[in-house]
């Protein structure tokens, strides 16, 4: 149940970090999706979400739900914005928003029977924090009336990729809040145009506020099998090194479904706050262009670019100079291993291109050439049949796992800094321009004992060179 009217309510922000952000390919990849990219004034959307919550009234420590692959990005970026108090849940697989929220709800009510959940995706842009907090305060009034609250934004244009909420009658006990007449998910263009013209329809922001116990009650009412599976998944949670891990087998039994489809579209308790904060889901290159600061020609440019007679375009360079001549309404995004060139009005098809790459098992849909690790990062430089060349950058004081490979040998050359190298029982220090050889099957570790980043060129050779040929024996980052 929600807190009684007039009583303080404990709001637990829930940040959902799932999603691969395929519509922002090639910048966004499965291993490094858009919520962790510095897309918003030098900050990632996840960092911006954390900052938005600072100073929120009645707010309790944040719950963050992410997958294992993004664990260290979550920790590093939370630290970067000064957030130290939070609970991190690790999903073993993606199952949509309803199971993720339900597991958190079952966990919360065991610790706080009056807990309220402010659920939000990690990949939205809401730059006006004051108007965001005012909208949450309006939602709290509806929460006191035992409502499940969704935040709607006035539909400014016909967007076929958004969900819509039809506004019902006003709630007498909550200013700015309305009953929900109907939800519509991603309508056809003609229907979306009618929604905009009606003035009664709002974009569904995907931000929700409800009592944890009430959400569970409604889920058990409308989706009893799913609720039972989520309850068992919550029972399977184990705590490991300040991280709560959801049991893989239990969570896999939860059906993939959204909060909207599982509960909000069926319950009579749904209410909508008519929010007025500026909002973007950063769902495409078009929306990123639409919300970014533009030059006098309507262009958004990042990186090393030169444009001549180019208007209303988005041009992003990561590595090389990008030159555009005589273009209009275009999107050009360059990365080290891929180049996207598309008409701005057609960028919704980027997701289809990524699905084709995935079907062809292309690495470009999954990872960048530069891959972040908890100890630093590595970058693929070259590769071919039976060889692969990488540049490793190890942060000061950091070390890789003690590991071995069954199918490849490695040569390491130190180009900057000092390396401490373990090879079975041998431990040696290597300095700039010195090298070592790691035979197949030899346990080895690379460490940086110095105060500057360690840079090493690694040349691999062998019959199989994929990252899954790593047997970790010891690891400072709990990956064994």
Give the model confidence (pLDDT) of 204-262 as tens digits.
999 999 999 999 999 999 999 999 999 999 999 999 877 999 999 999 999 999 999 99
Average the pLDDT over 102-122 and give the result. 96
393 pLDDT more than 50: yes
354 pLDDT more than 90: yes
19 pLDDT more than 90: no
Q: Which of 399, 405, 396, 391 is nearest to 466 (CA)?
A: 405
Distance CA 261, CA 222 (A): 10
Q: How confident is the model at residue 58 (pLDDT cuts 50, 70, 90)?
A: confident
Distance CA 219, CA 99 (A): 10
Position 7 scores a pLDDT of 63
Strands 201-211 and 243-245: unpaired
Domains 11-275 and 370-474 share a fold: no
In what helix (H) or strand (E) does residue 212 lie, and over which residues does it extend?
Answer: helix 212-222
State which fold the 11-275 domain adopts: Spore Coat Polysaccharide Biosynthesis Protein SpsA; Chain A (3.90.550)
In what helix (H) or strand (E) does residue 259 lie, and over which residues does it extend?
Answer: helix 259-259
| Cα Rg of the chain (Å, integer) | 25
Query: Using one digit for the tens of pLDDT, what is the confidence trace for 434-477?
Result: 999 999 999 999 999 999 999 999 999 999 999 999 999 999 98
Which of these ranges, 49-53, 187-191, 235-239, 319-323, has the smallest mean pLDDT? 187-191
Does the global pTM surpass 0.95? no
Distances (CA, A) of 29 to 14, 66, 127, 133, 368: 23, 15, 24, 32, 7
Q: Angle formed by the axes of helices 212-222 and 224-235, to 10°?
A: 130
Position 53 scores a pLDDT of 94
Position 175 scores a pLDDT of 87
Query: Using one digit for the tens of pLDDT, what is the confidence trace for 252-295?
Result: 999 999 999 999 999 999 999 999 999 998 989 998 999 899 99
Q: How confident is the model at residue 28 (pLDDT cuts 50, 70, 90)?
A: very high
Distances (CA, A) of 323 to 39, 83, 306, 317, 397: 22, 40, 5, 10, 41
Cβ atoms 115, 14 nearer than 8 A: no
Q: Which of 104, 103, 31 is nearest to 68 (CA)?
A: 31
**pLDDT cut 70: percent of the chain above it:** 98
Position 5 scores a pLDDT of 52
172 pLDDT more than 90: no
Q: Which residue has the tokens 């130290």?
A: 84
Q: How far is CA 351 from the centre of its chain?
A: 16
Position 23 scores a pLDDT of 93
Q: Which residue has the tokens 């995004």?
A: 333
In CATH, the architecture of 370-474 is Sandwich (2.60)
Q: Domain ranges in the chain?
A: 11-275, 287-351, 370-474
Average the pLDDT over 32-42 and give the result. 92
Position 241 scores a pLDDT of 79
**Residues belonging to the chain:** 480
Cβ atoms 331, 342 nearer than 8 A: yes
Distance CA 3, CA 8 (A): 7
CB count in 10 Å sphere of residue 437? 11
**pLDDT cut 90: percent of the chain above it:** 87
Distance CA 379, CA 174 (A): 54
29 pLDDT more than 80: yes
Q: Which of 202, 178, 90 is nearest to 478 (CA)?
A: 90
Average pLDDT of the chain is 94
Reading phi first (left if > 0) and then psi (alpha if -120 to 50, else beta), residue 136 is in alpha
Average the pLDDT over 142-163 and give the result. 91
71 pLDDT more than 70: yes
Position 1 scores a pLDDT of 46
Which of these ranges, 2-11, 134-143, 190-199, 234-243, has the smallest mean pLDDT? 2-11
Q: How confident is the model at residue 6 (pLDDT cuts 50, 70, 90)?
A: low
Distance CA 442, CA 425 (A): 10
């Amino acid at each position: 149940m929600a807190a009684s009217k007039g009583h303080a309510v404990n709001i637990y922000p829930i940040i959902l970090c799932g999603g691969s952000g395929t519509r922002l390919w090639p910048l966004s990849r499965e291993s490094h999706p858009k919520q962790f990219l510095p897309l918003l004034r030098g900050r990632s959307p996840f960092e911006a979400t954390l900052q938005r919550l600072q100073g929120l009234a009645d707010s309790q420590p944040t719950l963050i739900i992410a997958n294992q692959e993004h664990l260290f990005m979550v920790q590093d970026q939370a630290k970067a914005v000064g957030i130290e108090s939070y609970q991190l849940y690790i999903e073993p697989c993606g199952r949509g928003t309803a199971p993720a929220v339900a597991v958190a709800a079952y966990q919360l009510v065991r610790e706080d029977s009056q807990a309220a959940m402010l659920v939000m995706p990690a990949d939205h842009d809401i730059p006006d924090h004051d108007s965001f907090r005012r909208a949450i305060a309006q939602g709290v009034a509806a929460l006191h009336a035992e409502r499940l609250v969704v935040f709607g934004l006035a539909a400014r244009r016909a967007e076929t990729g958004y969900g819509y909420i039809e506004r019902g009658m006003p709630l007498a006990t909550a200013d700015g809040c309305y009953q929900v007449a109907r939800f519509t998910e991603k309508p056809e263009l003609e229907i979306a145009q009618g929604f905009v013209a009606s003035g009664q329809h709002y974009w569904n922001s995907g931000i929700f506020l409800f009592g944890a116990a009430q959400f569970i009650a409604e889920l058990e009412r409308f989706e009893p099998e799913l609720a039972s599976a989520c309850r068992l998944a919550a029972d399977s949670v184990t705590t490991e090194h300040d991280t709560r891990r959801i049991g893989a087998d239990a969570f896999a039994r939860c059906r993939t479904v959204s909060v909207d489809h599982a509960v909000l579209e069926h319950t009579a308790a749904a209410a909508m706050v008519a929010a007025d904060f500026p909002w973007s889901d950063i769902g495409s290159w078009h929306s990123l262009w639409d919300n970014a600061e533009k030059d006098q020609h309507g262009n958004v440019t990042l990186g090393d670019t030169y444009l001549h007679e180019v208007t209303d375009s988005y041009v992003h360079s990561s590595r090389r100079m990008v030159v555009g001549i005589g273009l209009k309404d275009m999107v050009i995004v360059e990365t080290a291993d891929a180049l996207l060139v598309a008409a701005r009005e057609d960028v919704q098809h980027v997701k289809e291109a990524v699905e084709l790459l995935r079907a062809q098992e292309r690495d470009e849909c999954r990872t960048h050439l530069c891959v972040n690790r908890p100890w630093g990062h590595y970058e693929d430089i070259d590769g071919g049949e039976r060889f692969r060349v990488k540049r490793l950058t190890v942060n000061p004081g950091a070390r890789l796992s003690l590991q071995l490979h069954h199918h490849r040998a490695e040569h390491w050359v130190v180009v900057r800094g000092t390396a401490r190298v373990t090879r079975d029982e041998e431990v040696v220090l290597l300095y700039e321009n010195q090298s070592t050889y790691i035979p197949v099957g030899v346990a080895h570790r690379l460490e940086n004992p110095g105060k500057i980043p360690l840079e090493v060129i690694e040349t691999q050779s062998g019959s199989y060179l994929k990252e899954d040929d790593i047997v970790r024996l010891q690891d400072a980052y709990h990956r064994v």
